[in-house]
Structure 1
Amino acid sequence: MVLTTTDLTFSSKLHAYLVFNGFFLFLIGLNVTLLLAFLRYPFQVGAYILLPYYTYCKVLTRPETKQGTRWPSFSKNFFLLTILRDYLGLTIHQPLPERLVEAEQTKDAQFIIAVFPHGTASDYRVAMDGMLDQVFPNTYDNVRTLGASVLLLIPIVREIFLWTSGIDASRPVAEKALDKGYSLVVLPGGEAEQIRTICSRERVYLKNRKGFLKLALRKGVPVVPMYVFGVSDFYRTSNAMMGPRLWLVKNLGICIPFAVGFWGSILCPRPVKTTIVVGEPLSFPISDAKQGPTAEELDKAHQQFCIALVGLFDEHKRRLGYGERTLELL
């Protein structure tokens, strides 16, 4: 079952289709051109373009290892993101849980926000960044998103990632951000969940994902479960060559989805109504904060989170048109 946005005219869909494909083709073309130019003129391109760029980004500044370079106005108003939000009908379900509202209003409020599913592509995460003040009005300025390091190597993709609250997903960076009072958005499923996305099924890769919970227990930060309905239907997926693709994910962290979106595009998702639902914050006390959580405490927290995520999905699925679906935990 696919829920399309009923308020979009043909011209609106065509406009979004052309914008998304054009923008991503521009990004791909730019980076391919840089690569080919480097292979043809290694000294000129390397000395005058790549070396200065990566020296500034990766040596002199490295904002992804600090607090990032968040640009709230960009997140809210960049034309591509506003078009994407309208195209997907991206909304946050209201009202929010009372316990979350109360916790967010307390002094020094801090959370780890665990978002599922990753989907074939997580572009919705970038669009969502400009809306998080609806959930975290008092702490919005201190929200940062953990992202794959490879994103920080691609020109323009790097800048968009950083401007929409992104920082590097390495453990030291995440711990430093929490120590400084920042809240973190994480997509725990990562590439393993992305490669296993099947259209019209709700699947999350969670059984072996405990790192975000271990971080929460060690730092004493509550975890907020978040589920995004519609993400699983953005693209029609294929299991072709799944074995080699799983090998790439496991050994190299590279995900190559075989998927088709709107009007046969691999770059533009289908216009599926997308709704974000948010659960109550979960706190996990441990016996010894200095030593960190025991294996038993971590397993208990993981079980509690899994129950909460499934409960969140089941609470909203019928109202949003997904009553026949079951959330699969892989």
Structure 2
Amino acid sequence: MRPCEPDPHSSHCDPCAAMDYKSEWKEFLEKISVLQWMLTFLFMGVSFLLLLVYLMFTSLWVVPVLYFTWIVLDWDTPERGGRPSAWVRGWAVWKHFRDYCPITLVKTAELSPGRHYVLGSHPHGIMCLGVFCCFGTNAAGFPHLFPGLRPHLATLAGLFRLPVYREYLMTSGMCPVSKKSLQYLLSQPGGGNAVVIVVGGAAESLTCRPGLHSLVIRDRKGFVRLALQYGAALVPVYSFGENDVFEQVLLEEGSLGRWLQGMVRRVLGFAPCLFKGGTWGFLPYRTPITIVVGSPIPVPKLFCPPQETVDHYHQLYIEALEKLFHAHKTQCGLRPTDQLQII
């Protein structure tokens, strides 16, 4: 095939130049889509809180008064399923967001919409980039891969107390990772809810780094107990590449910075991580993320499951997670010798 060469006698646009321009424009849209998500995640809630407080002392004071009244009346909605919006989950910006790394969702087994599921997602990474794309939007094809299921990505309950940001989170189908919220979703008749819990949480985010496959799960059994109480099948999910999109500045144990991280984690539920990325120094590296959804593990419905039963299904879950990791690691760019560390 001959390479494209400009024709000096032609008045038409150079197709190669047009393709390059289109490619550059697409790349720009991908960067902007990820940038807006990061800025939204980090600053939207606090920014609107400060804005509404400021407006309280201006002639527009009625706006924050009406909105804060609305929040009081709507206080329990996040813990009662929220207000998921197919329109918001289907925004075109999420397709550019998906293509940035890119992010791929892989299905390995059927999940019947006639029952509820508890999906344990691993690892946490810095910002759960892939998990949000796959379960907080429709860009990765969740509705087509798992028809009839409604994904609910569980996150910090405190975020749903931030003005305006709470509305944004609810439209994506996200819910507070609180007992009341999760119990409500799993108790709904008819099934169809898939609750996604990032099991390792903030503790796992503090140790993540490229090339590391270490999961904080050994003593995390609350999600198993929850599944048993409502007879919801357990589903392991592994995000290959999630730890590789950012480089974290790891602080030494015993240092002041590490102590501050631990204190913030205990008080607010999240750990402030120092990280760097690729583009502009803080956008994630363009490392592919592949999220593999494993086979469901059926569990009995026990209102008050004994500890022995919880331990049994927790061990079954870990074994299924390890099997999932080893079955897909080479296809997702890992070496055959890479191992999963459970801590």
Question: Shorter-chain-normalised TM-score: which range?
Answer: 0.7 to 0.9
Cα separation, 2, equivalents of 1:163 and 1:296: 39
Task: State whether structure 2 residue 87 is matched by structure 1 residue 66.
Answer: no
Q: Of residues 125, 134, 147 in structure 2, which corresponds to 1:128?
A: 134
Task: State whether structure 2 residue 207 is matched by structure 1 residue 230.
Answer: no
Task: State whether structure 2 residue 113 is matched by structure 1 residue 112.
Answer: no
Give 2:104's aligned amino acid. T
Give the superposition deviation at 1:128. 1.0
Count of matched residue positions in the alignment of Structure 1 and Structure 2: 309
Between 1 and 2, higher relative CO (CA 8 Å, sep ≥ 6) is seen in 1
Q: Percent identity?
A: 22
Where structure 2 has 5 or more consecutive residues not aligned to the other structure, the ranges are 1-21, 252-256
Cα separation, 1, equivalents of 2:338 and 2:170: 35
State the partner residue of 1:282: 297
Cα separation, 2, equivalents of 1:208 and 1:164: 30
- Alignment map for 1:143-182 (pairs within 5 Å): 143-180=151-188, 181=191, 182=193
Contact 1:81–1:126, Cα closer than 8 Å, also in 2: no
- Alignment map for 1:187-202 (pairs within 5 Å): 187-202=198-213
Q: Classify the secondary structure of the residue corresponding to 1:165.
A: coil
Q: Of residues 6, 17, 30 in structure 2, which corresponds to 1:16?
A: 30
Give the superposition deviation at 1:79. 3.1
TM-superposition CA deviations, 1:15-60 (whole Å, max 9, x none): 4224433564477676665555567665348943433223313423
Q: Rate the CA distance shift 1:304–1:257 in 2: closer, same or farther, 3 A.
A: same
45-54 vs 216-225, which deviates more? 45-54
State the partner residue of 2:106: 93
180-189 vs 210-219, which deviates more? 180-189
Q: Of residues 271, 276, 288 in structure 2, which corresponds to 1:273?
A: 288
Contact 2:210–2:247, Cα closer than 8 Å, also in 1: yes
State the partner residue of 1:327: 340
- Alignment map for 1:233-312 (pairs within 5 Å): 233-240=244-251, 241-266=257-282, 268-285=283-300, 289-290=302-303, 292-312=304-324
- Considering only aligned residues, what root-mean-square deviation do their CA atoms show, in Å? 2.7
Q: Rate the CA distance shift 1:168–1:37 in 2: closer, same or farther, 3 A.
A: closer
State the partner residue of 2:12: none
Q: Rate the CA distance shift 1:31–1:306 in 2: closer, same or farther, 3 A.
A: closer
State the partner residue of 2:8: none
Q: Rate the CA distance shift 1:242–1:159 in 2: closer, same or farther, 3 A.
A: same
Contact 2:49–2:162, Cα closer than 8 Å, also in 1: no
Contact 1:68–1:167, Cα closer than 8 Å, also in 2: yes
Contact 2:118–2:194, Cα closer than 8 Å, also in 1: yes
Give 2:326's aligned amino acid. D
Q: Classify the secondary structure of the residue corresponding to 1:209.
A: coil
Give the superposition deviation at 1:11. 5.2
Cα separation, 2, equivalents of 1:35 and 1:173: 24
Q: Rate the CA distance shift 1:30–1:167 in 2: closer, same or farther, 3 A.
A: closer
Q: Of residues 228, 236, 252 in structure 2, which corresponds to 1:217?
A: 228
Cα separation, 2, equivalents of 1:35 and 1:177: 28
Q: Classify the secondary structure of the residue corresponding to 1:197.
A: coil
Q: Rate the CA distance shift 1:244–1:319 in 2: closer, same or farther, 3 A.
A: same
Which one has the bigger helix percentage? 1
Cα separation, 1, equivalents of 2:297 and 2:187: 19
> TM-score, length-normalised on structure 1?
0.83
Q: Classify the secondary structure of the residue corresponding to 2:170.
A: helix
Q: Rate the CA distance shift 1:82–1:160 in 2: closer, same or farther, 3 A.
A: farther
313-322 vs 108-117, which deviates more? 108-117
Q: Rate the CA distance shift 1:311–1:31 in 2: closer, same or farther, 3 A.
A: closer
Give the superposition deviation at 1:9. 5.4
Give the superposition deviation at 1:120. 0.1
Give 1:136's aligned amino acid. F
TM-superposition CA deviations, 1:239-274 (whole Å, max 9, x none): 1222321232134313101111222433x2111111
Contact 1:235–1:270, Cα closer than 8 Å, also in 2: yes
Q: Rate the CA distance shift 1:83–1:314 in 2: closer, same or farther, 3 A.
A: same
Contact 2:55–2:63, Cα closer than 8 Å, also in 1: no
Contact 1:203–1:327, Cα closer than 8 Å, also in 2: yes
Cα separation, 1, equivalents of 2:59 and 2:40: 19
Q: Rate the CA distance shift 1:194–1:216 in 2: closer, same or farther, 3 A.
A: same
Q: Classify the secondary structure of the residue corresponding to 1:145.
A: strand
